[in-house]
Structure 1
Amino acid sequence: MHETSDIQNNKVMAIVAYILFFVPLLAARESKFAMYHANQGLTLFIVCVAANFILGIIPIIGWILLPIANLIIFVLAILGIVAAAQGQAKPLPIIGSFTLLK
């Protein structure tokens, strides 16, 4: 899917994409590998913001589910970081099929 040199040169950017999705957008825009992971990171960020907002305003049940949702988001971020570190372009479970960046 991605060139080996692109993967080797941009692994760090791909890993950073799950922490600060916009960094690869600025520093590695030409890398398909980094942009793939930036898309995954952006999708994860949007899900995180939406889950925290929605569950944060729902009394009691939302407040109970919020830590569980954040744990799931954390696990997804770890899965993405591991895939990026291994040089893989695997979509995240559940949310990985969405393409927000081209």
Structure 2
Amino acid sequence: MNEEKNKGIAALSYLIFFLPLLVCKDDEFAMYHANQGLLLLIFGFGISFVLGLIPILGWILLIFFPIVSLVFFIMGVMNALKSEKKPLPIIGGITILK
């Protein structure tokens, strides 16, 4: 069962999304979580950029956005450690890495 073997790498992919690309590119489970980690990174930068451009309301929301990102991060790591392939809310259905 590759999920058990590579679940540590899959969990780390939320910090370093390209790690599975280097270590276990052929493992579908690790690559799934690498994709989720990359999506979380893009989502974080994208939303932060957009909210930073919106005066006052965007800046206020920008204060709370890291909490949302942290919750998504924890959800992804927990899914990887439980050997589950659950998509993250809102962004999880997008596939960039195959």
Q: TM-score range by the shorter chain?
A: over 0.9
Identical counterparts, % of pairs: 47
1:68 alignment counterpart? 64
1:22 alignment counterpart? 18
TM-score by length of 2: 0.94
Q: Aligned residues, how many?
A: 98
TM-score by length of 1: 0.91
Q: What is the Cα-based RMSD across aligned positions, in Å? A: 0.9
Residue 28 of structure 1, CA deviation: 1.4
Displaced runs of 4 or more, over 2 A: none
Cα deviation digits, residues 52-91 of structure 1 (max 9, x gap): 1111222211110012222111101100000100011111
2:88 alignment counterpart? 92
* Structure 2 runs not aligned, ≥5 long: none
Matches of 1:93 and 1:11, distance apart in 2: 20
* Structure 1 runs not aligned, ≥5 long: none
The alignment status of 1:36 with 2:32, answered yes or no, reads: yes
